[in-house]
Structure 1
Amino acid sequence: MRLANASVVSELVLVGFSNHPQAELPLFLLLSLVYLTCCFGNKAVVTLVVLDVSLQSPMYFFLCHLALLNVFFSTLVVPKMLFNFLTSSKVISYAFCLAQTYLTLFLECTECFLLAVMALDRYVAICHPLRYLLLLSWPACVALALGAWALGFFASVVPLSCIILPLCGPYVVDYIFCELPILLHLFCADTTLQEAMMAVGGAGTVMVPFLLILLSYLRILLAVMRVDSSEGRKRAFSTCTSHLTVVTIYYGTGLIRYLRPKSLYSAEGDKLISLFYAVINPMLNPFIYSLRNKEVQGAPGRVIGRYRAARKPQAALLRR
């Protein structure tokens, strides 16, 4: 229940799309399908990389981390959203709201660093192909992946862990999940310092990885333009298209959300944009990496073939 004393608030109203009750059932069915597809697609990527030896390379190792991050993020947001579609009591506990706020912030920052690491992988593969496995050895890959997760945590959760202030009514979150910019509007105290910290942290965790991605692709472009054959240039670019597509969707959504003119802002529009990057985008990533990637497309056949080959000697022994 929501109590009169702001310091002991236990529940908040999570509005979501309750302003459009006629859309709740269709959205429940659609987002349930999207969420199941997201979980299946990303887990399938991880499973194939683990089981198929030909996919056990640095690029797919980092892709596994991105896939796991996508599942974590969607699971943090979507089940509560789906539950609220089916109930008349659109509430979220304050403890879970805080957890959702910090964990989504952590995962968003980590994704920025992971995308930068994946751009570095493409840079080394194209610009230094003979030294690729030396520069991106397994210890180096593990260090880069763990570094992305650690940077995401220390750049988001640690600096902003002090942002737990008394709340003022009405205790209403007019959004589809709890996020820091939304939560700041509910605090009673002056949040100027917290907003400044959020802006500085956002610049560091979003713009720095983005600049590293741009620099990596600038070097890739210069290297590819020196390739004599058009077939060689096409092959080099084809290894980058999936990552470029994911980066474009991820950062494009963020730019639309944060840099659009105030005249185009609307609460419902903001919810739809957040719905895209929190639910739709994680579902799309495994398909983006598999649709134009022959190695990933052939992986299920190779895994099934090896499984059948391993079963044949066992079946022969049983017949004896």
Structure 2
Amino acid sequence: MEYNNITSPPEFILIAFSDLPHLQCPLMTAFFLMYLLTIFGNLLIIILIQFDQNLHKPMYFLLSNLSVVDITYTSVTVPKTLTNYFTGTRTISFIGCFMQLYFFVSFASTEFLLLTAMAYDRYVAVCKPLHYPMIMSRTVCFLLSGASWIVGFIDSIFSFSVSFLNFCKSNAINHFSCDLRALLIISCSSTDNIERVIFAECLLIGISSFMLTLISYVYILHTVLKIKSTEGRKKAFSTCTSHITAVTLFYGTMISVYVRPSSVSSLDYDKLFSVLYIAVIPTLNPFIYSLQNKVVTKAFWKLCNKVQTWL
């Protein structure tokens, strides 16, 4: 649908996967199931951490924050996508679109920072185990998590600048959410300045978080290699495997969408990879952090026994 006036449209049309009809039904079904698993899995992690005294540690406090972020940033986009699909409306208001964009970018930025805080926690645990209780005190944990949330939300204010663009080319967004790249494509205003701001923000949050995480693991690797026994190395590095997996998945999918040459730019490509970091990764995170973690597994069965006695 063309929108030829200079003023912006009152609402946008989310094409979602209607241009990929053979994928639309299975993807929406997968969205629904993964969203349910995301809510259930991450809520379970939060409940277990609150319920079990053995999980009242800095690592699990930061993990509970990560679970909250996974629930919230998935809830910003997926319910609207499912509602539009089942009702057949496919529309989102102008204000609703940019509120969705702002909160999604905010929660995604917060996840970057929380993953960095968790990398620092693992660095202290492996490299400075004797000083761990003092360095990762309750106050420090609150400061790390609070700073991640505050900086994430402040950093994302730039997303509102996109709302000042004119969208006279079309009001149809070739995505299942108000994606930043998709919005810039349908704008008839000059986007050069905004793209420079976006690039600067990516450097500030994405690249800096990645570099800090990488530095933490360089020190961890250096410390682990100095351990003489093979069993000791395995035990030290096993405390980091879950976090490494989560970081690799999150950064890998984000980079595949937002950090690549324009010559290979494709919104269909973007949409399919966006499914990974919007729906798949928040679903997997509870399993990544619990399946190989004996403390979490033990807490789960303890909670099950407690519930059974209540019933």
TM bin, normalised by shorter chain, reads over 0.9
Residues 264, 189 of structure 1: alpha-carbon distance in 2 compared, 3 angstrom cutoff: closer
Measured after TM superposition, the shift of residue 42 of structure 1 is 0.5
Q: Does structure 2 retain, via aligned residues, the 8 Å contact 1:6–1:169?
A: no
Partner of 2:151: 151
SS at match of 1:162: helix
Measured after TM superposition, the shift of residue 103 of structure 1 is 0.9
Tell me whether 1-10 or 258-267 shows the greater mean CA deviation: 1-10
Measured after TM superposition, the shift of residue 263 of structure 1 is 5.2
Deviations 1:220-241 (A, max 9, x none): 1111111121111100100000
Residues 308, 77 of structure 1: alpha-carbon distance in 2 compared, 3 angstrom cutoff: closer
Partner of 1:278: 278
Once the two structures are superposed, the pairs formed by residues 237-316 of structure 1 within 5 Å of their partners are 237-262=237-262, 264-305=264-305
The percentage of counterpart residues that share the same residue type is 37
Tell me whether 19-28 or 60-69 shows the greater mean CA deviation: 19-28
Deviations 1:79-107 (A, max 9, x none): 11112222333211111110111111111
Tell me whether 23-32 or 8-17 shows the greater mean CA deviation: 23-32
Measured after TM superposition, the shift of residue 22 of structure 1 is 4.2
Residues 247, 108 of structure 1: alpha-carbon distance in 2 compared, 3 angstrom cutoff: same
Partner of 2:161: 162
Measured after TM superposition, the shift of residue 188 of structure 1 is 3.2
Counterpart amino acid of 2:195?
E
Measured after TM superposition, the shift of residue 135 of structure 1 is 0.6
Aligned residues: 310
> Could you state the TM-score of these two structures normalised by the residue count of structure 1?
0.91
Residues 307, 176 of structure 1: alpha-carbon distance in 2 compared, 3 angstrom cutoff: closer
Once the two structures are superposed, the pairs formed by residues 131-142 of structure 1 within 5 Å of their partners are 131-142=131-142
Residues 28, 99 of structure 1: alpha-carbon distance in 2 compared, 3 angstrom cutoff: same
Partner of 1:65: 65
Unaligned ranges ≥5, structure 1: 312-320
Tell me, in whole angstroms, the C-alpha distance in 2 between the residues paired with 1:177 and 1:167: 16
Counterpart amino acid of 2:161?
C
Tell me, in whole angstroms, the C-alpha distance in 2 between the residues paired with 1:234 and 1:48: 26
Residues 185, 20 of structure 1: alpha-carbon distance in 2 compared, 3 angstrom cutoff: closer
SS at match of 2:163: coil
Once the two structures are superposed, the pairs formed by residues 1-320 of structure 1 within 5 Å of their partners are 5-7=5-7, 9-157=9-157, 159-165=158-164, 166-262=166-262, 264-305=264-305
Tell me, in whole angstroms, the C-alpha distance in 2 between the residues paired with 1:126 and 1:118: 12
Q: Does structure 2 retain, via aligned residues, the 8 Å contact 1:100–1:179?
A: no
Residues 2, 258 of structure 1: alpha-carbon distance in 2 compared, 3 angstrom cutoff: closer
Measured after TM superposition, the shift of residue 154 of structure 1 is 1.9
Residues 93, 239 of structure 1: alpha-carbon distance in 2 compared, 3 angstrom cutoff: same
Measured after TM superposition, the shift of residue 184 of structure 1 is 2.1
Partner of 1:314: none
Measured after TM superposition, the shift of residue 49 of structure 1 is 0.1
Measured after TM superposition, the shift of residue 133 of structure 1 is 1.1
Partner of 1:315: none
Q: Does structure 1 retain, via aligned residues, the 8 Å contact 2:3–2:170?
A: no
Tell me, in whole angstroms, the C-alpha distance in 2 between the residues paired with 1:11 and 1:264: 29
Deviations 1:201-220 (A, max 9, x none): 11111000100001000111
Q: Does structure 2 retain, via aligned residues, the 8 Å contact 1:2–1:9?
A: no
Residues 161, 266 of structure 1: alpha-carbon distance in 2 compared, 3 angstrom cutoff: closer
SS at match of 1:13: strand
Residues 126, 167 of structure 1: alpha-carbon distance in 2 compared, 3 angstrom cutoff: same
Residues 308, 11 of structure 1: alpha-carbon distance in 2 compared, 3 angstrom cutoff: closer
Measured after TM superposition, the shift of residue 119 of structure 1 is 0.1
Measured after TM superposition, the shift of residue 137 of structure 1 is 0.8
Q: CA RMSD in A?
A: 2.1
Q: Does structure 1 retain, via aligned residues, the 8 Å contact 2:3–2:169?
A: no
Measured after TM superposition, the shift of residue 299 of structure 1 is 0.7
Residues 2, 87 of structure 1: alpha-carbon distance in 2 compared, 3 angstrom cutoff: farther
